[in-house]
């Protein structure tokens, strides 16, 4: 068993935190595994209760663990990492993580584009667009709420049935031979409102991430999407070179 080094200048709570994080990231401790109690950790590492408590505070701040009253402390589910340098597909990213992606179409309608949506899609005002509201899930857990606006002219005769249980991008590629060439995303931190919280199965007012996405086919915008992602389940990564 790994040990803390009491002769080291590195604080004991930080050493213990590093050991637990290493076990989580290496897979020794898996999602929702129970962490030993404070008393057990004190005995295992021959350290004080106050040191263990400080470790638990830091691990919880970093979203590595969560607590359930009367049950104990557990390993948090992994946050879903989105690499901002790559074209992102929720369905494909979930599959890479070994999770089962699903989508529930909450609304599907055809309507005339408002001035605002026309400007976003760079189309004539009152042009017909599909309005598609979807709940994105991973292993049946709600992760993201999306409202997409798609020009009918580019995707004629699309129906709600076409999107049930399938990837929208995958369907676009297969039926309409779409070539996605670029996507631009704008992020802002928000507090989840009552309606969003109900769909995402979280408490109203928790931190979330608002994402506006413009998807291009060559120089044309073919999708504008507004999303709310759970702040406790996503992290975003960008590499600056």
As for how many domains the chain has, the answer is 2
Any domain includes 1? no
Least confident of 79-83, 113-117, 135-139: 79-83
Which residue range forms the structural domain that includes residue 135?
A: 80-237
pLDDT over 70 percentage in the chain: 90
Least confident of 28-42, 83-97, 137-151, 197-211: 83-97
Any domain includes 211? yes
Both 113 and 185 in a single domain?
A: yes
8 Å CB contact between 147 and 135: no
Long-range CB contact pairs, 158-167, < 8 A, 24+: 158/130, 159/108, 160/105, 160/108, 163/103, 163/105, 163/108, 163/132, 163/134, 164/105, 165/102, 165/103, 166/103, 167/89, 167/91, 167/92, 167/101, 167/103
Residue 186 pLDDT > 80, yes or no?
yes
Q: What is the mean pLDDT of residues 212-226?
A: 93
Per-residue pLDDT tens over the stretch 76-111: 876 655 544 455 567 776 777 677 888 899 999 999
Check which CATH number belongs to the domain holding 43 and give it: 1.10.10.10
Any domain includes 133? yes
Any domain includes 7? no
The pTM for the full model equals 0.64
Both 199 and 118 in a single domain?
A: yes
Helix (H) or strand (E) holding 203: none
Task: Report the alpha-carbon distance of residue 165 to residue 138 in Å, rounded.
Answer: 13
Both 52 and 122 in a single domain?
A: no
Any domain includes 51? yes
């Amino acid at each position: 068993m790994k040990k803390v080094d009491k002769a080291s200048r590195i604080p004991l709570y930080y050493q213990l935190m590093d050991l637990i994080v290493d076990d989580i990231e290496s897979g020794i401790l898996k999602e929702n595994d129970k962490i030993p109690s404070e008393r057990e950790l004190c005995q295992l590492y021959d350290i004080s209760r106050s040191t263990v408590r400080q470790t638990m505070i830091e691990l919880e701040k970093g979203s590595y663990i969560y607590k359930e009253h009367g049950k104990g402390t557990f390993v948090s589910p992994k946050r879903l990492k989105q690499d901002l340098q790559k074209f992102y597909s929720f369905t494909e990213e979930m599959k890479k993580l070994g999770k089962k992606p699903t989508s529930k179409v909450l609304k599907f309608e055809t309507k005339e584009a408002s001035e605002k949506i026309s400007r976003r899609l760079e189309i004539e005002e009152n042009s017909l667009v599909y309005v598609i509201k979807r709940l994105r899930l991973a292993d049946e857990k709600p992760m993201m709420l999306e409202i997409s606006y798609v020009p009918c002219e580019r995707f004629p005769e699309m129906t709600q049935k076409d999107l049930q249980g399938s990837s929208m991008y995958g369907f676009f590629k297969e039926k309409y031979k779409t070539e996605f060439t670029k996507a631009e995303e704008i992020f802002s931190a928000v507090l989840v409102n009552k309606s969003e919280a109900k769909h995402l199965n979280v408490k109203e007012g928790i931190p979330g991430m608002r994402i506006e996405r413009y998807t291009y086919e060559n120089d044309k915008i073919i999708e504008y999407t507004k999303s709310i992602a759970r702040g406790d389940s996503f992290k975003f990564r960008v590499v600056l070179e």
